[in-house]
Chains A and B, each alone.
Chain A
Amino acid sequence: MTETVRRKTGRSRQKEETSTSLTRDQLLELYYYMKLTRQLEERLVNLYRQTKVVGGLFRSLGQEADAVGSAYALDRSKGDILSPLIRNLGSMLVQGATPGEIIRQYMAKGDSPTRGRELNIHYGDLVRGFIGQISHLGDMVPVMAGVTLSFKMRGQDRVGLVYVGDGATSTGAFHEGINFAAVQRCPLVVIVENNGYAYSTPLSKQTAAKQLVDKAIGYGIAGDKADGNDVLATYEVTKRAVDRARAGGGVTLIELMTYRRKGHAEHDNQSYVPEGEIDRWASSNDPLDRYVRVLAENHDVSAAELGAIDDRIAQEIDRATDEAEASPMPEPGDALVGIYADPPEEKPLWFREGVRAAVDVNERPSSWGTHDV
């Protein structure tokens, strides 16, 4: 395992994880997902500045390795499920989320995965194995405790992974959920992404604990820690926890050390960040820069190979943007569909009757809210 990243200084040269069980193709796939995350977010920034993104924009700049490396440790063929947090776009892409879905979500389109009901990356798909978060931090820990409890009850060979930030470790839901899962020995991996800030609040005002991994001791579960900006270290530490969970070894809490280089969202000017801190991380501890170096030095990957991947990513994002821009906004009346399975839709209020409800004209997916997806 790599040593702890020092928050204030970053480091000029990191000790990289060198041993890996991954094939060359898999190593390149990790690069693809990390770069796709970064480029897709860059495209979203452009769309945001063109006011085409309806709400706020949340970046994971500098955290791509922790998102991608950890999700990559799950086994999609076994039906593993993760629950992402706001900086886990990369994790969702690994599970099969598409750039087109992400852009349509941000643009609040009618054919976005939530049909314009929810914001940004707040969406999921049980088939591909990710469950959408809500804004109430920590709440996904009890939910994933229940998802993995069902794996255990049914004797399934599946594992769940839930992401929280350093801030969410202060919530009651985090505590209740992880304790419940620990007692039940659920096959669950809890990843705490310690990126230094919860909105503007630094870790020192979040907890008196020296390190967040120490919390594992109190719950009687395994704890581990890694350099979250080292994608291979992140993968390896998560893989160990996933294997432990699958073998019946219960919950693991992993603290991944990383750094949030952008504000909480695009509007945040980061006035609370000490001068020079962001630049130091950007120049000396960028997860993509580090990984490109590792690929070149240890795995014989040429710049041309990476360039080809970059080209593919650019094309994918361009195509997704075009499709999203051409997508329709939702029909207003669609807002009344699907609060319950029965009744399937709310009646329009009397002062809106006469406005043709979109529920009359829009096809309603037969899989809406049922298990036969």
Chain B
Amino acid sequence: MSEITYLEAIREGLSEEMERDENVFCLGEDIGAYGGAFKVTDGLMEKFGESRVIDTPISEAAIIGAAAGAAHMGMRPVCEMQFIDFISCGYDILTNYVATARYRAMLPCPMVVRGPSGGYVRGGPFHSQNPEAAFLHTPGLKIVYPATASDAKGLLKSAIRDEDCVLFFEHKYLYRRIKEEMPGGDHLTPIGKARTAREGKDVSIITYAATVWKSLEAAEQLEKEDGLSVEVIDLRSIAPMDDDAIVATVRKTNRVLIVHEDTRTGGVAGEITARINELAFEWLDAPVLRVTAADVPLPYSPPLEDYVLPQTNDIVKAVRRLAAY
């Protein structure tokens, strides 16, 4: 079997699920005839027809709301946000209607909202966002953010089969930069389970999405230059969060760095820190540290973007500080 990219893995996951279950359909802007802004859905309209790969008006609230209505009736819609930045246009209906549907009205709402996320691509303030923290605060939504091609496929397939709404963030920096051979068979990655991306015993890095790769680079460098054994935990799911995996790595290394690409204040790292504080305080030998983006809208120009986003060197510096504590 040949290797496929992160982007192709998403397409393969979509295609397999649409073949498996006729209730699965896609809707979004420019996803049909054009195949999507990043070509994630390329070829799906030819394969499954216009009625299952629906080109919609520029209406994120309608895309998400219509998906909810169809999901109530037993369909399994997959919404594409052309860039995940535009999910904010559907924030109301997603948080107030979709997320509460089961709880307040016993209405099933099995649907996926997916879209290209993240920076490092010179996309500027409106084509680079990482909005996961904005939704982590809403009970009723699940959030996944894969770092590898096989997890991209496996998590998407699990998300489509989940009985609740799953936000599927896919990192556009990774779309065509990483390749992997897909596991055989009906490959499903469980939602809510973290992955150990690298085993280590001195310091733990808890991260997800593109910064998994920055953290692995840093771990490599720290092993060579400092002889440090760094463990990297790829959360994969932000909600539900794998508390067991977080606690296990804290107990193993007793020193924790949290790395994410999103801005610092109110970010996911704060939530992870609080959980460690509640669940494993006794096991800490050093304060939990964060490496995140600075609290600014993400700027466009390369020197500015590179300065704002977390880089491998930032991670190296933070791990050294933890190791020396």
Interface bits A131-143 vs B (CB < 8 Å: 1, else 0): 1101110010111
Render B60-82 as a binary contact track against A, CB cut-off 8 A, 1 for contact: 11111111111111110100000
| Chain B CB within 8 A of A54 CB | no
Residue of B65, B73, B75, B107 near A142 (CB, 8 A) is B65
Residues 138-155 of A at the B interface (beta carbon under 8 Å) = 139, 141-151, 153
Verify A172–B65 contact, CB threshold 8 A: no
A371 near B: Cβ within 8 Å?
Answer: yes
In chain B, positions 58-110 with a C-beta closer than 8 Å to chain A are 59-75, 77, 92-93, 96-97, 100, 102-108
Specify which chain B residues have a CB less than 8 angstroms from the CB of A371 in the assembled complex.
74, 108
Q: Is the CB of A370 within 8 A of B163?
A: yes
Residue B313 at the chain A interface, CB threshold 8 Å? no
**Complex CA distance for A132 and B101, rounded to whole angstroms:** 9
Q: What CA separation (Å) do A177 and B57 show in the bound complex?
A: 10
Whether A118 contacts B104 in the complex (CB less than 8 A), given A141-B65, A341-B164, comes out as: yes
Query: What residues of A have a CB within 8 angstroms of the CB of B68 in the complex?
Result: 142-143, 146
**Chain B residues with CB below 8 A from A118, complex form:** 104-105
Docked-complex contact A180 and B105, CB < 8 angstroms: no
Tally of contact residues, A, Cβ under 8 A: 46
Contact across chains for A146 and B67 when beta carbons are under 8 A apart: yes
Cα A300 to Cα B63 with chains together (Å): 50
Q: Is the CB of B97 within 8 A of A180?
A: no
Q: Is B66 a contact of A369 with CB atoms below 8 Å? A: no
In the bound complex, residues from chain A placing their C-beta under 8 Å from that of B93 are 136, 139, 142-143, 173
| Cα distance A183–B59 in the bound complex, in angstroms | 12
- Is the beta-carbon distance between B105 and A114 smaller than 8 angstroms? yes
A342 within 8 Å of B (CB atoms): yes
Total B residues in contact with A, Cβ cutoff 8 Å: 43
Interface segment among A60-68, A96-104, A122-130: the answer is A122-130
A149 adjacent to B163 (CB under 8 Å): no
CB of B277 within 8 Å of the partner chain: no
Q: Residue of A at shortest CB range from B139?
A: A339
State whether the Cβ of B140 lies closer than 8 Å to any Cβ in chain A.
yes
Chain B residues with CB below 8 A from A181, complex form: 66
In the complex, which of the residues A143, A151, A153, A177 contacts B25, with contact meaning CB atoms closer than 8 Å? A153
| A215 within 8 A of partner (CB) | no
| Beta-carbon contact of B69 and A146 below 8 Å | yes
Please give, as numbers and ranges, the residues of chain A lying within 8 Å of B56 by CB-CB distance. 180, 183
Chain B, range 142-193, C-beta contacts under 8 Å to A: 142, 162-164
Which of chain B's residues have a CB closer than 8 A to the CB of A144? 69
Interface membership of B51, Cβ < 8 A: yes
- Give A370 to B101 CA distance when docked, in angstroms: 12
With A and B bound together, what is the CA distance between A139 and B68 in angstroms? 11
Contact B102 A147 (CB under 8 A): no
- A183–B57 Cα distance when bound, in Å, is 8
Cα-based distance from A179 to B68 in the complex (angstroms):
17
Is B240 part of the binding interface, using a Cβ–Cβ cutoff of 8 Å? yes
CB–CB A139/B108 < 8 A:
no
- Judge if A338 is at the interface, Cβ distance under 8 Å: yes
Please determine whether B69 and A340 come into contact, CB atoms closer than 8 angstroms. Answer: no
Interchain CA distance A33-B72 in the complex, whole Å: 28
> Does residue A176 face the partner (Cβ distance < 8 Å to B)?
yes
When C-beta atoms are compared, the residue in chain A nearest to B191 turns out to be A342
Q: Are B92 and A142 in contact (CB under 8 A)?
A: no
Total inter-chain residue pairs, C-beta < 8 Å: 150
In the bound assembly, the distance between CA atoms of A142 and B106 in angstroms comes to 19
Q: Smallest distance from the beta carbon of B72 to chain A beta carbons, Å?
A: 6
Chain A contacts for B75, CB-based, 8 A = 150, 153
**A window 147-191: CB within 8 A of B:** 147-151, 153, 172-173, 176-177, 179-181, 183-184
Task: Return A229 CB to nearest CB of chain B, in Å.
Answer: 30
Q: Does A343 contact B (CB under 8 A)?
A: yes
Q: Answer whether residue A117 sits at the interface, using C-beta atoms and an 8 A cutoff.
A: yes
Q: Are A134 and B164 in contact (CB under 8 A)?
A: no
Are the C-beta atoms of B104 and A126 separated by less than 8 Å? no
Pair B164/A340 contact, Cβ less than 8 Å: yes
Contact A340 B97 (CB under 8 A): no
Question: How far apart are B34's CB and chain A's nearest CB, in angstroms?
Answer: 17
Q: How far in angstroms is the closest Cβ of chain A from B80?
A: 15
Closest-CB distance, B232 to chain A (whole angstroms): 27
A368 at the interface (CB under 8 A from B): yes
Chain B residue at minimum C-beta to C-beta distance from A343: B240
Q: Is the Cβ of A136 less than 8 Å from the Cβ of B62?
A: no
Of B62, B106, B162, the residue contacting A177 (CB under 8 A) is B62
B295 to chain A minimum Cβ distance, whole angstroms, is 29
Q: Which of A118, A151, A153, A340 gathers the greatest number of chain B CB atoms within 10 Å?
A: A340
Residues of B near A153 (CB, < 8 A) are 25, 51-52, 70, 75
Taking the nearest CB of chain B, how far is it from the CB of A155, in angstroms? 10
Whole-angstrom CA separation of A48 from B57 in the bound complex: 45
Complex CA–CA separation, A114 to B65 (angstroms): 21
Tell me the nearest residue of chain A to B109, going by C-beta.
A369
B102 and A142 form a contact (CB under 8 A): no
Tell me, rounded to whole Å, the shortest Cβ–Cβ distance linking B272 to chain A: 18
Q: How far is the CB of B87 from chain A (nearest CB, A)?
A: 14
B positions within 8 Å CB-CB of A = 25, 51-52, 54, 56-57, 59-75, 77, 92-93, 96-97, 100, 102-108, 139-140, 142, 162-164, 240
Q: 6 A–B contact pairs at CB < 8 A?
A: A124-B105, A134-B104, A143-B68, A143-B97, A153-B75, A176-B62
* Chain A residues engaging chain B, CB cutoff 8 angstroms: 114, 117-118, 122-124, 126, 131-132, 134-136, 139, 141-151, 153, 172-173, 176-177, 179-181, 183-184, 338-343, 346, 367-371
